[in-house]
Amino acid sequence: MNSQKKRIPKPSYLIGWLPGDGIGPEVCNATRVVLDAVGFKAEYIHGDIGWEFWKSEGNALPERTIDILKYSDSALFGAITSKPAQVAEEELFPDIKERGFVYRSPIVHMRQLFDLYVCLRPCKSYIGNSANYREGIDLTVFRENTEDLYAGVEFSYVPNELARVLTELSKNFAPFKNLSGDEYAISCKINTKKGSERIVRAAFEYALAHNRKKVTVVHKANVVRATDGLFLDSARVVAKEYQGIAFDEANVDAICMWLLKNPFNYDVLVAPNLYGDIISDLCAQMVGGLGFGCSGNIGENFAVFEPTHGSAPKYAGMNKVNPLATILAAKMMLEWLGEIEKAMAIENAVARVIREGRVRTYDMGGTATTIEMASAVVEAFF
Ligand code: NAI
Ligand code: MG
């Protein structure tokens, strides 16, 4: 898997720079201060992304942004606000049906377009962080990033031909029998063998490379038998190739309870897209909250790094939120590019700032601003 592939550092890089909206631009600006100070040489190319561009041009991930990503070495993404569910697409675009566009999450779109099938989310409690749930937590979540309920095959209005086939095939079980197409909706959960095997293999390869002891597959195969059954079976097949690493299985509901009860029983977790999304926020909260959750969307030849959090609109423009999640995402990006020393320098500086506890943003019980936190990380290099 690519997160382990050795890359040769380059004298300079082209980085797609996607701050997005809400708190995205603030945390990205703060991260740039750190990237410059660590001596990372790059040209940053700004890309438009988000709801604002959907409103103005009917595309939240415009073609010009996709082009930038195609020639970048990797990208850093801040956050975007999703389309509010109550805004009807027809209100903005009366001709929407003829033009054939409906809102699609640009992040999900980007992950699928570039086949960024690994969502890697390390969750580590840094020593001295008063926001830690427990000291000594070091979990890594592998979330499948292109399939499952995020496959994008959805029907807010169910077409007659689909209703007919489903009613026929599901016999008496269909809860939608006799309902008209606008009385129910369908989101398809689609999981493939290839998609399931490659994410589980990525988790095991990571475990091997990082001397991890155990991989736990997260599922709900006792109920969601077809798709989660396939994911679980695929995991079992792949696990046999890695005899030196323990393999464990857990239901998604149960693991939310077990993770809180004893996080030290777990090491590397691998899950289909939706469960991975959910457990990674849970794991982020155990290591101080979303201000510490960093994330890499990784494919074979391209990767986009981002904080796990969203655009937190209520804090936008206040220079108040914690930039460490994005700074740590940038650290993951440097690691992926092969800039190991610079990545380590960022990691050590972040650990030092947290350990010393003098500069703390509001979520850590302090009053430091976003940019003051970035400056503290820079000072900790020296
Ligand atoms: P959120 O992650 O934006 O914020 C939830 C809460 O977490 C905030 O109110 C704040 O208390 C805390 N938080 C988040 N980032 C923080 C930081 N850097 N420092 C300190 N505290 C932080 O989730 P929410 O409010 O559910 O979603 C807001 C918008 O973001 C929605 O439109 C949602 O769809 C979108 N979103 C976008 C994502 C992305 O761009 N990748 C991911 C998740 C949500
Ligand atoms: Mg999420």
- DSSP letters spanning 200-246: HHHHHHHHHHTT--EEEEEE-TTTSTTHHHHHHHHHHHHHTT-TTSE
How long a stretch of residues is the chain? 382
Mutate to test the pocket of ligand 1, among 311, 315, 324, 371 (most ligand atoms within 8 A of CB): 311
Query: Separation of 27 CA from ligand 1 center, angstroms?
Result: 12
Tokens of 27: 């945390």
Q: Dihedral angle at the C-alpha atoms of 270, 84, 66, 108, nearest 10 degrees? A: 20
- Cα dihedral 176/180/184/185 (nearest 10): 110
CA of 328 to the centre of ligand 2 (A): 17
| Closest ligand relative to 121 C-alpha | 2
Closest atom, ligand 1, to C-alpha of 313: 28
For ligand 1, which residues put their CB under 6 angstroms from it?
27, 79-82, 107, 289-291, 306, 309-314, 321-322, 325, 363
- Quote the ligand 2 centre to 289 CA distance (angstroms): 12
- Mutate-to-test residue for ligand 1 from 273, 285, 309, 321, highest number of ligand atoms within 8 A of CB: 309
Q: Which residues surround ligand 2, an ion (CB under 5 A)?
A: 277
pLDDT band at 2 (very low <50, low <70, confident <90, very high): very low
In the predicted model, what is the mean pLDDT of the chain? 92
Note the ligand closest to the C-alpha atom of 108.
1
Residue 1 has pLDDT above 50, yes or no: no
Q: What is the pLDDT of residue 97?
A: 58
Q: Which atom of ligand 1 is nearest to the CA of 323?
A: 18
Q: Is 189 helix (H, G, I), strand (E, B) or coil?
A: coil
Q: How far apart are the CA of 286 and the centre of ligand 2, in A?
A: 15
Ligand 1 atom closest to 322 (CA): 19
Residue 339: exposure state from Cβ atoms within 10 A (0-12, 13-18, ≥19): buried
The angle subtended at Cα 332 by Cα 210 and Cα 77, nearest 5°, is 145
Q: What average pLDDT does the segment 122-133 reach?
A: 93
Dihedral over Cα of 313, 297, 128, 278: its sign: positive
**pLDDT by residue (tens digit) across 290-338?**
999 999 999 999 999 999 999 999 999 999 999 999 999 999 999 999 9
* Residues 274-298, mean pLDDT to the nearest whole number: 95
Q: Report phi then psi at 27, rounded to 5.
A: -70, -30
Question: How many CB atoms sit inside 10 A of residue 170's CB?
Answer: 12
pLDDT tens per residue across span 4-26: 567 888 889 999 999 999 999 99
How many CA atoms lie less than 13 Å away from 327 in the CB half-sphere? Answer: 34
Q: Which of 55, 282, 290 to mutate to test the pocket of ligand 1 (most atoms within 8 A of CB)?
A: 290
Query: What DSSP assignment string belongs to 20-77?
Result: ESTTHHHHHHHHHHHHHHTT--EEEEE---SHHHHHHHS-SS-HHHHHHHHHSSEEEE
The secondary structure of 291-328 as a DSSP string is GG-EEEEE-SS-EEEEESS---GGGTTSS-S--HHHHH
Is residue 199 over pLDDT 50? yes
**pLDDT (0 to 100) of residue 92:** 66
